Amino acid sequence: MISRLLKFLNDSPVSFLAVKNIAAELQNAGFVSFDPSKPLGGVKPGDKFYVTKNDSSIYAFQIGSQPLADAGFRMICAHCDSPTFRIKPHAEMLCEGGIVKLNTEVYGGPIMSTWFDRPLTLAGRVILRGEDEFSPITKLLHVKRPLLQISNLAIHFNRQVNDGVKLSKQKDMLPILGVINSHLENGNLLLGLICEELGKEAPIDASDILDFDLYLADATPSCTFGIHDEFLSSGRLDDLSMCHAGLEAMINSKNKEVTKVLAIFDNEETGSHTKQGAGSPFLASILKRIAMAQSGSEEAFHQAVERAFMVSADNAHAWHPNYGERYDPTNHPVLGGGPVIKFNAAQKYASDAVSAAVFSEICRKAGVPCQRFVNHSDVEGGSTLGNILTSSIPVRGVDMGNAILAMHSCRETGSVADQFYCVKAFTHFYG
């Protein structure tokens, strides 16, 4: 399973590619694509289908034999976006010596210093001219080689660098792309690269490129490390590791009685308030259509929501051996200690005593250890998609995730054991 996770991480540098890869796994497991602009028609026990939104979020459904009004939905939700840097339009900036750097803007909340002095690449989607203005063609792009780098200023020019440096998002975080070799390359390096990469399938003319959503990504492959290979090292563990755990459970759980839902959202790192984010009514709309197709009554949907349970799966903070004072003295999860239930008195998480009790029992019956996380009271923590989703679907739910170190770093650290634990817990939840 860990080899599958590492491959998924390497092949999914941005949300568009994560969704493509999740869809491929679902198709291999017998799920069929559904176009939400078409009528859903009738649904019957055993039906398996998925829908996508914006090419960057995906929602899978397996219809159970029990009526939704009686059994509700069993939902696992996660997000496939991670903090990074977006390439701006008109991105090329020509510098002395013919060096070209790219203009970027920050996406989400990355630890910016971790992006320095490492090989980076580009990934995302490119929009090409179609048959008419409302039917452009989307092509996914993943340059699978080291392509760019954000280089540090030498310590000789900044002797205080190890005392802490305030970084400028506009000045300091611009990656070097290359050196122009001819006048024709001036202003055309990026478009030329796009045409070269996409043209491996069929020739692409630069005049057909209308726009793009491109992002920086770490070019170093994911791996395990530690004396027993007990740790995971990768970018985007938050939250692709939870996406993959949910996918493994969805495909491998054998229960055919309950209706299972796997919802992978985009834009959690920027607030979730997009058509493909957890703040959108899109998932609620699909669930309502399923309930009405099964029963012919909207009332069945509202009954199903009251009987449903949601696991909002987003990674938690592991105790750091160098910074123990930053953590709550009695609620600090450790790497390898099992899934983590997250609590917050300001309601930044969906967990309460009831939903935490449900999930801890799921873990116990799955033979999996379970931990709790609460912020140090002097530290304001982050939030996740659980509460945002429940504002449109008032469902019982718990916020949980595997504990990781260096959350929002270009490269995060997790536990191999925790990934196994999480898949077991999710599989039992679906089953």
pLDDT in tens, 249-302: 999 998 889 999 999 999 999 999 999 999 999 999 999 999 999 888 889 999
Q: Tell me the residue type at 23.
A: A
> Is residue 200 pLDDT above 90, yes or no?
no
H helix runs in 319-412, sequence order: 353-365, 385-390
Task: Report the candidate in 360, 364, 355, 371 with the shortest Cα–Cα distance to residue 404.
Answer: 371
Other C-beta atoms closer than 10 Å to the C-beta of 158 total 12
Please answer whether residues 116 and 279 qualify as being in contact, where contact means their C-beta atoms are separated by less than 8 angstroms. no
DSSP 376: -
> Is residue 183 pLDDT above 70, yes or no?
no
> Is residue 187 pLDDT above 70, yes or no?
no
**pTM score of the predicted model:** 0.94
For residue 154, the model assigns a pLDDT of 93
Name the token pair of 286: 């699909």
DSSP per-residue codes, 18-44: HHHHHHHHHHHTT-EE--TTS------
Tell me which residue has tokens 């070269």: 196
For residue 431, the model assigns a pLDDT of 87
Please answer whether residues 341 and 370 qualify as being in contact, where contact means their C-beta atoms are separated by less than 8 angstroms. yes
Percent above pLDDT 90 for the chain: 83
In three-state form (DSSP H/G/I as H, E/B as E, the rest C), the secondary structure along 128-197 is ECCCCCCCCEEEEEECCCCCEEECCCCHHHCCCHHHCCCCCCCCCCCCEEEECCCHHHCCCHHHHHHHHH
H helix runs in 207-352, sequence order: 237-252, 282-295, 298-307
For residue 42, the model assigns a pLDDT of 83
Task: Flag the least confident range among 55-59, 116-120, 217-221, 390-394.
Answer: 390-394
H or E element that contains 221: none
Tell me which residue has tokens 């939030």: 383
Q: Please tell me whether the peptide bond between 81 and the residue prior to it is cis, using omega within 30 degrees of 0.
A: no
Name the token pair of 288: 């309502």
> Is residue 174 pLDDT above 70, yes or no?
yes
3-class secondary structure, 13: coil
Name the token pair of 61: 């459904």
For residue 210, the model assigns a pLDDT of 94
For residue 193, the model assigns a pLDDT of 93
DSSP 318: P
For residue 185, the model assigns a pLDDT of 67
